[in-house]
Amino acid sequence: MAFSPDGVLLATASSDNTARLWGTATGKCILTLTGHTEGVLAVAFRPDGTLLAIASGDQTARLWHLATGKCIQTFTGHKSNVNDAAVSPDGTLLATASGDQTARLWDLATGRCIRTLTGHAGPLMSVAFRPVLRGVDLEDVGDTDLGDVLVVENPAGRGLAGLGGARGVASGAQGVAVTSVIAARAAAWSAMA
- Model pLDDT, residue 131: 62
For residues 20 and 161, give the distance between their C-alpha atoms in angstroms, rounded to a whole number. 22
SS3 15: coil
User: What pLDDT, on a 0 to 100 scale, did the predictor assign at position 138?
Assistant: 32
Across the chain, which has 193 residues, the per-10-residue mean pLDDT values are 95 97 96 96 96 98 97 97 94 94 94 92 87 40 38 35 34 35 39 42
pTM: 0.73
Cβ–Cβ under 8 Å, residues 80 and 98 = yes
Is there a contact between 13 and 41 (Cβ–Cβ < 8 Å)? yes
The Cα diameter of the chain in Å comes to 45
Provide the pLDDT for residue 101.
93
Angle at 158 between CA 123 and CA 74, to 5 degrees: 40
pLDDT of residue 177: 33
Which CATH code for domain 2-190?
A: 2.130.10.10
Domain locations along the chain: 2-190
In this prediction, residue 129 carries a pLDDT of: 83
C-alpha to C-alpha distance for 62 and 105, rounded to whole angstroms: 13
